Amino acid sequence: MKIHKFLTLNTTTQCINVVRSIENIKFVNCWQTHDVSLREKIADLWLNKNILDKVTIRDRLDQVVYAILERERVIGVSTVFLQDLPILNNSFYVYRCYIDDNYRAPALDVKLLVKTRDFLEEEYNKTAVKGILAVAQNDHLKKWNHAIWPDTGMMYIGDSPKGDPMRVYYFKGAKI
């Protein structure tokens, strides 16, 4: 995996630790799985980082598409939920992700998005879902001002009511 630059890493030691651990990282497809051990590890990540409360976690676990593991520890996760978007006159998967602060690197979040996108695109033929919508809430992502994000194909379509940039990717062959 190629790492271009680091986002929130403040020290050389943190950067070295991330580079060393990249070799031990794997992406695990969790879509509609009921692996109790993995689900517990994902819940622990969200709880330990104060991302979600226990009630929200119970629902969110059914929305997990990929988990990123370093050895056997979950360090990141992507989730989606189905949403009818009147502005686009179609249904989309709304994408969310979280990567532990100690592992945040542009190549990692892009790879998580692309793996999630590619998997859901394969599933597209089984559904009427047209693509993926992502709302950039991370301050770093808000600075990515390309009309179409490189490597992901996510196109800027405007801002959310809260002022966060929204991006959409249409699955290949989608008709509107």
Q: For residue 6, is it within any domain?
A: no
Q: How many Cβ atoms are within 10 Å of 106's Cβ, its own excluded?
A: 17
In a domain, 101, yes or no: yes
Q: How many independent structural domains does the chain possess?
A: 1
**Residue 2 within a domain:** no
User: Is residue 3 situated within a structural domain?
Assistant: no
- Report the pLDDT value the prediction gives residue 16, as an integer from 0 to 100: 45
In a domain, 175, yes or no: no
6 and 15 Cβ atoms separated by less than 8 Å: yes
Q: Residue 122 domain-assigned?
A: yes
CATH code (residue 72)? 3.40.630.30
Mean pLDDT of the chain, nearest integer: 85
If one compares 124 and 77, the residue with the highest pLDDT of the two is 77
Whether 1 is covered by a domain: the verdict is no
- Per residue in 23-53, pLDDT tens? 789 999 999 888 999 999 999 999 999 999 9
pLDDT of residue 45: 96
Q: Which domain holds residue 70?
A: 12-170
Give the helix, strand, coil percentages of the chain, each rounded to 5. Answer: 35, 30, 35
Q: Is residue 23 part of a domain?
A: yes
